[in-house]
Amino acid sequence: MNGDWLLRGRDGRLSVYLPSDDAVLCRAERAPGGPWSPPRTVGGDQKLHPVLAVGQGADDYAHLVSWRPTTKGESGLVHSTHFRPLLAALDWNPVGHPDKKGERTGTPAVAVDEQGRAHLFVRNKGGGVSMLAQKEKGGWEAWRDLKGRDVQDGLAAVTGESGRVELYAPVPGGILYWRQDEPGAEPVLQETVQAPVRPGTLYALATSPESTTLYYTDDAGDLCAWRPGGKPVTLLPSAGPGPVTAVRCDLDGHDCTLLAQRSAGGRVAFAAYPTQEESAGAWWAESGPQLPVDAVVSLAIDAEDRVVAATLSPSTGRLLLTRRKAEPGLALEAWREV
C-alpha cells in the first residue's frame, strides 16, 4: 500500500483499506469510537492486482487507485472515490496507462488538491514520472510526462497546507522533488538532493504553511528528514526496515510530529518531536504485541482529536488499534483487535 490507509471520514468515522487477493477491502467504524463493520469489497467486482494507493483531500473523501489486468501481459490503472466510510464507494473507473498500454510500471501514488481533484503519479517505462489529474468539473485531463530519470519505486505524494500538490521520488543516490507553482498547475521538477536513500521508505507530511517534510531511511539505516531548500538531517536510527508513517498532533499544547514504524523486533515503535525541530531529537518507545513480518502501521487523528494508531497484516487481515489516553504525554490505551 502507498499512502495513509487509516483515514477519518467526513462523518468522523475511521476506516481502513486493504488489498486482498484480487480486490480492495474496507472496514469502518459504525459510529465514531464505536464497533467496526466487517470487511467489504470496494468498487464493485472488478478484478485487481494486489496494489493500492490511497489519498485524501480537505473534503475528507478517499481516493483509491489500483492496477487491473486488461489483456494478457497488460494492465491499466483504475480509480474509485469513497465519500463516506459506511457508504459504498464508486465503482472502479479505468483511467488508462502512462505509456498508453503495457504491463504495470510501478506502485502509484495519489494526492488530492484543495479543490478535491485527485492527482495520480506513477513511473513510466522511460524511467520518469507520469501524472494524471482530475478536471475540476469531472473527468480526467490527459496524461502528462513530468520527466525525471532512473526513478525507483516508492513515490511519495502530498498536498501542502497551501493546497499545492507535491511529489518526491527516489533515484539512485538521491531524491527528486516536484511542486505545483500554483493550484491546478502541472507540478514542476524543482530540486534534486543527493542522499543515499533506500527505495520504498519515503513518507511526506505537510508540516507548515510553506513546507512539507520528507522522511526516508538512508543506506546506513538512519531515519532522515528533508525539507526542500535545505539539507537532509539525520533524526534517529530507524526502528525497523520498513517505511515510517507520521502525523501532526497536539501533545500537551505543543505542535508535534509523531512517527511510527514496525520495529525490527516486531512491535510498533513511536517517536515524537516538535514539528520541524529535528535538532530537538527523538527517541523510539515500543508498544503493543509482536506483529507478522508483513504488518504495516498507520496513524490518524480521530473525531475527538486523539491520536489513533493501527496495524494491519495483509496475510492475516488482522486489524489492531490503539488510541492516546486523555492524560499528559503519549500514553496509549491497550491494543485491541477489531
Q: Could you write out the DSSP letters of every residue in 27-38?
A: EEBSSTTS-BPP
Residue 17 burial (CB count, 10 A)? 26
Q: What percent of the chain has pLDDT over 90?
A: 91
Q: Look at residue 49 and tell me if it is in a domain.
A: no
The pLDDT assigned to 137 comes to 82
The pLDDT assigned to 21 comes to 87
Give the residue from 318, 309, 319 showing the smallest Cα distance to 285. Answer: 309
The pLDDT assigned to 83 comes to 94
* Over residues 231-244, mean pLDDT: 94
Cell of 278: 529535528
Collapsing DSSP to helix, strand or coil, 321 comes out as strand
* Over residues 126-148, mean pLDDT: 94
| Cross-strand partners of 213 | 205
pLDDT of 193 strictly over 90: yes
The pLDDT assigned to 326 comes to 85
Q: Look at residue 167 and tell me if it is in a domain.
A: no
Q: Look at residue 107 and tell me if it is in a domain.
A: no
Give the residue from 234, 284, 294 showing the smallest Cα distance to 258. Answer: 284
Q: How confident is the model at residue 138 (pLDDT cuts 50, 70, 90)?
A: confident
Domain count, the chain: 1
Contact 176, 168 (CB under 8 A): yes
Spatial separation of the C-alpha atoms in residues 25 and 38, rounded to whole Å: 10
Mean pLDDT, all residues of the chain: 95
Q: Look at residue 314 and tell me if it is in a domain.
A: yes
Give the residue from 167, 175, 120, 129 showing the smallest Cα distance to 148. Answer: 129
* Over residues 144-164, mean pLDDT: 96
Q: How confident is the model at residue 160 (pLDDT cuts 50, 70, 90)?
A: very high
pLDDT of 174 strictly over 90: yes
Q: How confident is the model at residue 6 (pLDDT cuts 50, 70, 90)?
A: very high
Q: Look at residue 271 and tell me if it is in a domain.
A: yes
Q: Look at residue 130 and tell me if it is in a domain.
A: no
Contact 177, 190 (CB under 8 A): yes
Q: What Å distances lie between residue 5 and 47, 63, 220, 309, CA to CA?
A: 20, 11, 28, 11
pLDDT of 43 strictly over 90: yes
Q: Look at residue 331 and tell me if it is in a domain.
A: yes
Q: Look at residue 284 and tell me if it is in a domain.
A: yes
Q: What Å distances lie between residue 77 and 63, 69, 104, 212, 230, CA to CA?
A: 13, 9, 9, 27, 35
The pLDDT assigned to 140 comes to 96
The pLDDT assigned to 143 comes to 97
The pLDDT assigned to 184 comes to 85
Collapsing DSSP to helix, strand or coil, 278 comes out as helix
Q: What is the pLDDT of residues 72-112, one digit of tens each?
A: 999 999 999 999 988 999 999 999 999 999 999 999 999 99
Domain of 278, in residue numbers: 247-338
pLDDT of 328 strictly over 90: no
The pLDDT assigned to 22 comes to 94
Residue 177 burial (CB count, 10 A)? 24
Q: What is the pLDDT of residues 299-326, one digit of tens each?
A: 999 999 999 999 998 888 899 999 999 8
* Over residues 272-283, mean pLDDT: 97
